[in-house]
Amino acid sequence: MTEPFLPPPYPYDRLEEVKGLAAHHDGGLVDLSIGTPGDPPAASVIEALARSGAERGYPPSIGTLAYRNAAAGWMARRLGVEVDPAGVAACVGSKELVAGLPQWLRLRRPDLDTVLYPAISYPTYAMGATLAGCRAVPYRTLADITPADAARALCLWVNSPANPTGELIDLADAADWGRQINVPVLSDECYIEFTWEGPPRTILEHGTDGVLAVHSLSKRSNLAGVRAGFYAGDADLVRYLSELRKHAGLMVPGPVQAAAVAAWADDGHVDDQRRRYWGRLEQLAAALGSIGIEAPLPAGAFYLWAPAPDGDAWALARHLADRGGVLVSPGEFYGPDGAAFIRLAAVQSDEQIARVAERLGRFR
């Protein structure tokens, strides 16, 4: 008899006992465990959200033409790629797309059952495979993928800049790998505006055949709560997903679409946010370094990925909560290969980051 599926504990729920260790600090806990933006969105975006007049009607699942034009315009302006708005479609934030893509792709290719994803990565890549009844197979490098797994592959995920490591991936190599064996390559690029080493890179620079780029306003514009993103790339795959998603009732709410148009069109607030994040990353890295924890600055994204000195990430997380009143994520949340690391998200205010640095400085 087949056992019923029981969802595993949500990773961040496991931090409850660590939170209590920080309770004795004046000013309370500083939560750097989750990449939830703490800074306010641009005022123009909130104005567009409030005054759209789009509350009554059902919005198009694919996104309004204004929404898709704004996304295409942003890609041309910031990423240097020209994409026809007809090849762009809305998603309800990027997480639902990441979690849902394997089951939708498997409807089209029921003979394939394997989702390939980075060994250290955002947990939803693996969970999306599980929810689709697929094999979730991690890889460290593309060269590590066995011919047997490649032959069964439904898709391959890449994430650049990467969560949690900040690594920048060779997206041209990934696109070539997928095209050679006819496996769709899905590129999660939600941190692309926070690329620190060189210009932002998208997989779409290397052509659209066989690839899909996924983008979101959650990180770029501090809009995680409104759930707005898009996907673009292979024309046949975009058409297939767009038609399927209509039947599932997946649509970005009309007022949110209006706000997204304003957000994609405005680069100034992103440049301001880039300065904030980089300053916080530098301050956090220095604070950790002062107590003997090496935390290299990332090539992209707004996380520090730091090795635990003795390899025990949970012990380090408890120590930082007790001594610094700061909550961090043990690296095992991002796969077994990350078990000896911690991740810190530079998302709290400058005042909160300074509070962490001051607390840790007492214990040098």
How many structural domains comprise the chain? 2
Domain of residue 276, residue span? 11-41+269-361
Q: Are residues 206 and 94 in the same domain?
A: yes
Based on the domain organization, do 237 and 342 belong to the same domain?
Answer: no
pTM given for the model: 0.95
Strand ranges of the sheet holding 329-330, from the earlier edge strand across to the other edge: 303-307, 341-345, 329-330
pLDDT in tens, 38-85: 999 999 999 999 999 888 889 999 999 999 999 999 999 999 999 999
| 238/163 same-domain check | yes
How far is C-alpha 209 from the geometric centre of its chain's CA atoms?
23
Q: Band the pLDDT of 1: cuts 50, 70, 90.
A: low
- Looking at the fold, whether 141 and 102 belong to one and the same domain comes out as yes
Does residue 348 fall inside a structural domain?
yes
Q: Are residues 197 and 76 in the same domain?
A: yes
pLDDT of residue 10: 85
**Final residue belonging to a domain, choices 244, 265, 286:** 265
The answer, yes or no, to whether residue 3 has pLDDT greater than 80, is: no
Q: Distance between CA atoms of 190 and 248, rounded to whole angstroms?
A: 24
pLDDT at 363: 67
Overall size of the chain counted in residues: 364
Task: Write the DSSP assignment of 140-185 as a string of letters.
Answer: SSGGGS-HHHHHTEEEEEEESSPTTT-PPP-HHHHHHHHHHHT--E
- Same domain? For 47 and 175 the reply is yes
Q: pLDDT (tens digit, 9 = 90+) per residue, 204-226? A: 999 999 999 999 999 999 999 99
- CATH assignment at residue 146: 3.40.640.10
Residue 242 confidence (pLDDT) above 70: yes
Does 182 reside within a domain? yes
Domain boundary among 265, 287, 305: 265
Quote the pLDDT of residue 130: 96
Q: Do 36 and 48 share a domain, yes or no?
A: no
Boundary of a domain, candidates 235, 265, 295:
265
- The mean pLDDT value of the chain amounts to 95
Give residue 37's pLDDT band: very low, low, confident or very high (50, 70, 90): very high
Quote the CA–CA distance of 129 and 135 in Å, as a whole number.
Answer: 6
What's the CATH code of the domain at 295?
3.90.1150.10
Q: Are residues 105 and 194 in the same domain?
A: yes
Helix and strand numbers, DSSP H then E, in the chain: 13, 12
pLDDT tens across 287-317, in order? 999 999 999 999 999 999 999 999 999 999 9
